[in-house]
Amino acid sequence: MSEEKKKEAPKFVYNCVRCGQYCSKVSGVPVYFEDLTRWRKNGTLASIAPNIGMDMSLGFPQLVLETKEGETGCPMYDSDNKNCQIYHDLPLNCQAYPLGYNGEKYFVTDKACQGLGQGEMTAEQLRTQRDAAKVDYEAKIESNTIVPLIYSIIMGDLVDQSRKAMENMTEEQKDQIQDIVKGDED
């Protein structure tokens, strides 16, 4: 056996140390349809929904657990107690963290993660982590295909409703709107 073959690839070992490093700094944890469905079925969607928003930073609409204005980190993370409020039912993206999958290979998404290299990792734990990364990848592909479509349907409908409302306005109402718009431009 050659020397190269004897050298094993670095072994992925990860155990969450609940340091909060990622959770307290992340902005916009991705949320997928699979997450929404699971939360609806187990009755937690109503408590999570107020924290879900739309992120356009990647150039297309994506559902996320939205960081509140003036705050940092995931809105479900309690930084005082270093505790995730939904640790029992994490979003798929968090379940996979810090392992990612791109459809072909696995990779570490956050090399600064303090849980990397901590403790031991059984073959079963590694399999579970890899499965989570694959499920995250597949859910991301599905949601990133469907969310923009739903977004464009809703936006198109809003534009149509606005156009119809404008058509039904009197000239006086249209002039009032023009005055408001001009005032905003000044």
Q: What would the pLDDT profile of 45-88 be if each residue is shown by its tens digit?
A: 999 999 999 999 888 999 999 998 888 899 999 989 989 999 99
Share of the chain above pLDDT 70, in %: 93
175 in a domain, yes or no? no
154 in a domain, yes or no? no
- CB burial string 151-165: b at 16+ within 10 A, e below: beeeeeeeeeeeeee
110 in a domain, yes or no? yes
Q: Give pLDDT, residue 5.
A: 46
Is the pLDDT assigned to residue 127 strictly greater than 90? yes
178 in a domain, yes or no? no
Query: How high is the mean pLDDT of the chain?
Result: 90
Neighbouring C-beta atoms of residue 34, cutoff 10 Å = 17
**pLDDT band per the 50, 70, 90 thresholds, residue 114:** very high
122 in a domain, yes or no? yes
Cα(34)–Cα(57) distance, integer angstroms: 22
Cα angle at 183 between 178 and 185, to 5 degrees? 100
Q: Give pLDDT, residue 96.
A: 97
Cα(124)–Cα(62) distance, integer angstroms: 32
Which amino acid belongs to residue 154? I
69 in a domain, yes or no? yes
Is the pLDDT assigned to residue 110 strictly greater than 80? yes
Domain that holds residue 127: 9-146
170 in a domain, yes or no? no
Q: Give pLDDT, residue 177.
A: 86
Domains held by the chain: number: 1
157 in a domain, yes or no? no
